[in-house]
Every structure is written in C-alpha cells, then in structure tokens.
Amino acid sequence: MIVLTGFMGSGKTSVGKLLSHQLGVDFVDSDDAIQAAQGRSIATIFAEDGEAGFRAIEAAVITELLAGRSGVIALGGGALATASVRAALKDHQVVLLDVELAEALRRIGDDPERPMLKLGDAATLYRARQAAYRDAAEVVVPVTGRTPREIVSDVLQALPKAAGGVGE
Ligand code: S3P
C-alpha cells in the first residue's frame, strides 16, 4: 500500500483521495476507520480513554488495515508514535507530506476535533515528531504552498511502480 504520513494539516486526506482516484484504487483514512469501528468521534475517544487509549485503538485499526487491503491509506499525524505501527509500515511505501510548521498551524487553527492541540503545544509536538516521520518515509514531498495536484504528481514520479505496486 501507499501510506501517507505527516503532521496535522499536511493534507494527507485530500492528497490521499486524489492519489487513489488517479490510481483507481481504494482510499482509507485511519481516523475515519477508527471512528467507524468505535462508533465514537476522535475527540470523544480522547476524552473517554485518554491519549494512551486512543493510540492503542489507532494501532490496532492501522495494523489491520495494512494487513488486509491494498490502495492508499492516510495515517493520523501521531500514529508513528506507536512502535507496532512503525513496524507494520516496513513492507509498505511510506510517503511523508512535509509541511512547514507555520503552514500546518495556519491550516489546523484551533480545530476542536483535534484533541492533541489541547493536550500540548503544537510547535513542540511538530518538532518532536520530525525524526519519526523521516525515519519511516521512503519519499519526502514538500507540500507548503502547493496544490494537491502538484503533490500527487510528485508522489507518482517518486513511486514509479505505484500504479502496479499498491497491493504489494
Ligand atoms: C493526531 C492527529 C489526528 C488524529 C488525532 C491525533 C495527532 O489526525 O489522529 O486527533 O496526534 O497528531 P490528523 O493528522 O489527520 O489530523
């Protein structure tokens, strides 16, 4: 599968939808899959189970999705914090949508559906996560100031076997 990772506001969902459309494959967003499986919003899961509870659910949902489906998957921005998620990514094509901090902050505002913004400082979180994003990624695509169409074109160029290899 092609796996899109990156900080909140990097555009994983919009890029993922366009990329999957162009490739003619399925798209799944891990946050949507979590909410469907739980029958609860992300904000409610954080409120009821805490971040640790959310991460455990998130890791279980993502490892199942990676094992069972082909296509494009967009991961929540904190998913790589969990070791089992990092390990499950080894056999997949991981693309980092590399957004500058200022642009990410502009895009996410103070979205109440993003509970991590209430738990800590977004800039600190952003810096702390960069190493994990870069370690996991086979391809890094800059996204600041660019359209989803331009970004998808970069991804396809960087992953020439994508059209035939998304199921691998
Ligand atoms: C999170 C990012 C969110 C969502 C949850 C936690 C994070 O996904 O999984 O609110 O820790 O950065 P997006 O990156 O799609 O906003």
Helix or strand or coil: residue 73? strand
How high is the pLDDT of residue 164?
Answer: 52
Establish whether residue 11 lines the binding site of ligand 1, counting it when its CB lies within 6 angstroms of any ligand atom. Answer: no
Establish whether residue 6 lines the binding site of ligand 1, counting it when its CB lies within 6 angstroms of any ligand atom. Answer: no
How high is the pLDDT of residue 70?
Answer: 84
Residue 59 CA, chain-centre distance (Å), reads 12
Residue 45 CA, chain-centre distance (Å), reads 18
HEC secondary structure over 85-127: HHHHHHHCEEEEEECCHHHHHHHHCCCCCCCHHHHCCHHHHHH
Q: Does the pLDDT at position 167 exceed 50?
A: no
pLDDT digits (tens, 9 = 90+) for 69-112: 789 999 999 999 999 999 999 989 999 999 999 999 999 887 77
Q: Which of 42, 51, 114, 121 to mutate to test the pocket of ligand 1 (most atoms within 8 A of CB)?
A: 114
Q: Tokens representing 116?
A: 């991590």
Nearest CA to ligand 1 atom 11: 78
HEC secondary structure over 144-166: CCCCHHHHHHHHHHHCCCHHHHC
CB 112 within 8 A of CB 43: yes
Nearest CA to ligand 1 atom 3: 76
End-to-end CA distance of the chain: 6
Atom of ligand 1 nearest to the CA of 43: 10
pTM score: 0.94
Cα of 42 vs centre of ligand 1, distance in Å, is 9
Query: In the β-sheet with 72-74, what is the strand arrangement from edge to edge?
Result: 27-29, 72-74, 2-5, 93-98, 139-142
What number is the average pLDDT over the span 107-131?
Answer: 87
Establish whether residue 76 lines the binding site of ligand 1, counting it when its CB lies within 6 angstroms of any ligand atom. Answer: yes
